[in-house]
A and B are shown apart, each in its own frame.
Chain A
């Protein structure tokens, strides 16, 4: 059975009334970004660096809007100090991280942050939900979102390369 995990994630974001979709893109997020762009009640907020998104979403919550931060694993390393904002103030922070450097990666420069991503996030006080089975994507994102917005807390769904498919650049 084919699983449209992007559509599953989009449905979860819509159910949780996500309004601000902050992102630094990744190929693995491309379909979700497109889907959110088509949704009239969601606003795309492209960032120059991932840490901006943590501050943007803190402001969104102060103003009573929910958001999500989309990034790839290399971007997690850009976020460390700004994650203290979410932790100290207990801002709800839902992160969706596409993994690179993890499973069949062809680019060795992606490997260090790929390997460090769960450690860095947990060290910064985030819950981490790895997903390697596309069929579990939607329910995992929903579980993370519930803890984020009803906690509040911060949580990251790690979308494994086994889900996305290892990037090859056609090689």
Chain B
């Protein structure tokens, strides 16, 4: 009866996905070494900060649709260091063109991970397009990513982790996570200048 609002989108399946976002992100960031992280606005920022408010995180409080493109610019500027973009499905969908721009540039040191709960989590859990037949990894492959995969179980995630951290990129992973509300918990600084300056200081040394 309510399906007319959402076409072919499935409002139930993501509530049963076994992977949980906080545990997924904690494992993505474990033993991170000199990894540089860009977090897309919303829950990925809270997830990353729950692990550690690390100076080599660049958490976005806005600029929706910009996370992957920002990661691209960083990866091109620092080709010898790994860059990991962690974002949500809604944020990625707003910047889908960036997928093709990354495909055109072929940054070998860039991984893009979408924590895909098929929801706009910050605004009331409305369904995104990934709740339907949209296949983000297939789009990434078509755009020229060196590798792309969907991950929906703990075994698949553990198998994907080494590639997310080290495989020749650009790589893309859609990690299907349970649609659930989490308390926000720890927040990173909101001041953009602080975030920028501490990132550069951690990467480049004191100015």
Contact = CB atoms under 8 A, between A and B. Distances in A.
A59 B73 contact: yes
Interface in A38-77: 43, 45-49, 51-65, 67
A77 B98 CA distance: 18
A42 B97 CA distance: 22
A20 interface: yes
A63 B66 contact: no
B204 A45 contact: no
B101 A62 contact: no
Given A64-B203, A67-B73, A90 B193 contact: yes
Contact of B77 (A20, A47, A81, A82): A20
Q: Is the interface of B mostly helix, strand, loop or mixed?
A: helix
Contact of B66 (A55, A60, A65): A55
B73 A81 contact: no
A3 interface: no
Given A58-B70, A81-B63, A88-B62, A20 B104 contact: no
B196 A81 contact: no
A46 B101 contact: yes
A90 to B, nearest CB: 5
Contacts of B97: 47-49, 52
B62 A43 contact: no
A46 B74 CA distance: 16
A88 B189 CA distance: 12
Interface in B98-124: 98, 100-101, 104-105
Contacts of A52: 66, 69, 95, 97-98, 101
